[in-house]
């Protein structure tokens, strides 16, 4: 196949995913005569645009409206559980991502917060809260794959503060090694973790077991993992063996607020 420009390539990917339901990175790279690295970046961009969902080794089409609503409920339940860990007068970092984004509107209940974020979406949510938290943007270089600001400027901004908590998502979680990411820009996440007294990972249980090559945060950098209650007992025990506090949110949590 003749190589296409990014816009044409991404349109082709969406068409194929919607038609077939699921495709691997290897299949798309062969069809489009490009590298697997390029395809992974395209999939990250398209997921951020809400066009598909990435899965280990490839991508799937968006679920039905019913499933989307359910997924949204799980994100909200996880965010509510996370918000319960935040005390008034705290300094926190909220990283980019759809699950961490669900935390932003819940901060209206907290007093005298200082919130740093590298996410335009999170910042927009926080800025719309009347008498909301003191908002600090990291600055940095825009990364369309993650929908966030990255780079040395962002890292320097984080290094200038001391934070009580970091709230961060992940593309996946390797039971043996820690959180994983499709994005190869990992240094800012690691700087955030180094500058927070407590690191709290927020992710849905269907991402647990994804062995994506890029390790974002190893287990010794994670204090608390918040997920939903679809985990079986064996996986729960394997996670807690790493010395991590595991909190499993229920859909009832999302209905209580």
Tens digits of residue pLDDT in 172-212: 899 999 998 877 778 999 999 999 999 999 999 988 887 67
- Residue 66 pLDDT: 46
> DSSP assignment of the chain, as one string?
-----HHHHHHHHHHHHHHHSEEEHHHHHHHHTS-HHHHHHHHHHHHHTTS-EEETTEEEPPPPHHHHHHHHHHHHHHHHHHHTTPPTT-EEEE-SSHHHHTTGGGGGG-SS-EEEESBHHHHHHHHTSTT-PEEEE---EEETTTTEEESHHHHHHHHT--EEEEEE--SEEETTTEEEES-S--HHHHHHHHTEEEEEEE--GGGBT---SEEEEEGGG-SEEEEETT--HHHHHHHHTTT-EEEEE-HHHHH--
How many domains is the chain built from? 2
One domain for residues 107 and 139: yes
Comparing 159 with 19, the larger pLDDT belongs to: 159
Are residues 196 and 242 located together in one domain of the fold? yes
Considering 40, 60, 80, which residue would you say is the last residue of a domain?
Answer: 60
Assess whether 99 and 195 both reside in one domain: yes
**Tens digit of pLDDT for each residue in 3-58?**
578 888 998 999 888 888 888 899 999 989 899 999 988 888 887 777 887 776 78
Single pTM value for the model: 0.75
Question: What is the extent of the structural domain holding 18?
Answer: 6-60
| pLDDT score, position 160 | 96
Given 60, 83, 98, which residue is the final one in a domain? 60
pLDDT value, residue 63: 62
What is the predicted pLDDT for the residue at 53?
A: 77
Q: How far is CA 106 from the centre of its chain?
A: 17
- Would residue 165 count as lying in a domain? yes
What's the mean pLDDT in 202-229? 90
User: Residue 1: inside a domain, yes or no?
Assistant: no
User: Is residue 162 predicted with pLDDT exceeding 90?
Assistant: yes
pLDDT computed for residue 197 by the predictor: 97
Confidence class of residue 254 from pLDDT cuts 50, 70 and 90?
low
**pLDDT reported for residue 185:** 76
- Is 252 a residue whose pLDDT tops 90? no
CATH code of the domain covering residue 22: 1.10.10.10
């Amino acid at each position: 196949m003749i190589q296409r420009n990014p816009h044409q390539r991404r349109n082709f990917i969406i068409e194929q995913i919607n038609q077939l339901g699921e495709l691997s990175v290897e299949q798309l790279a062969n069809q489009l005569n490009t590298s697997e690295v390029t395809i992974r970046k395209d999939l990250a961009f398209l997921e951020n645009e809400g066009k598909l969902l990435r899965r280990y080794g490839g991508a799937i089409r968006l679920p039905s409206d019913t499933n989307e609503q359910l997924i949204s409920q799980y994100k909200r339940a996880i965010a509510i559980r996370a918000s319960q860990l935040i005390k008034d007068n705290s300094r926190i970092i909220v990283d980019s991502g759809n699950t961490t984004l669900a935390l932003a509107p819940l901060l209206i209940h907290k007093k005298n917060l200082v919130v740093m974020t590298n996410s335009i979406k999170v910042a927009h949510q926080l800025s719309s809260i009347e008498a909301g938290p003191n908002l600090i943007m990291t600055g940095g270089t825009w990364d369309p794959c993650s929908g966030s600001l990255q780079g040395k400027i962002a890292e320097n901004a984080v290094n200038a503060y001391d934070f009580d908590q970091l709230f961060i998502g992940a593309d996946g979680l390797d039971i043996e090694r820690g959180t994983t990411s499709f994005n190869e820009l990992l240094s800012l996440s690691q700087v955030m973790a180094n500058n927070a007294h407590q690191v709290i990972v927020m992710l849905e249980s269907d991402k647990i077991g994804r062995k994506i090559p890029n390790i974002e945060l190893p287990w010794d950098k994670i204090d608390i993992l918040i997920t939903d209650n679809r985990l079986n007992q064996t996986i729960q025990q394997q996670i807690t063996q790493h010395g991590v506090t595991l909190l499993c949110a229920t859909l009832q949590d999302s209905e209580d607020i």
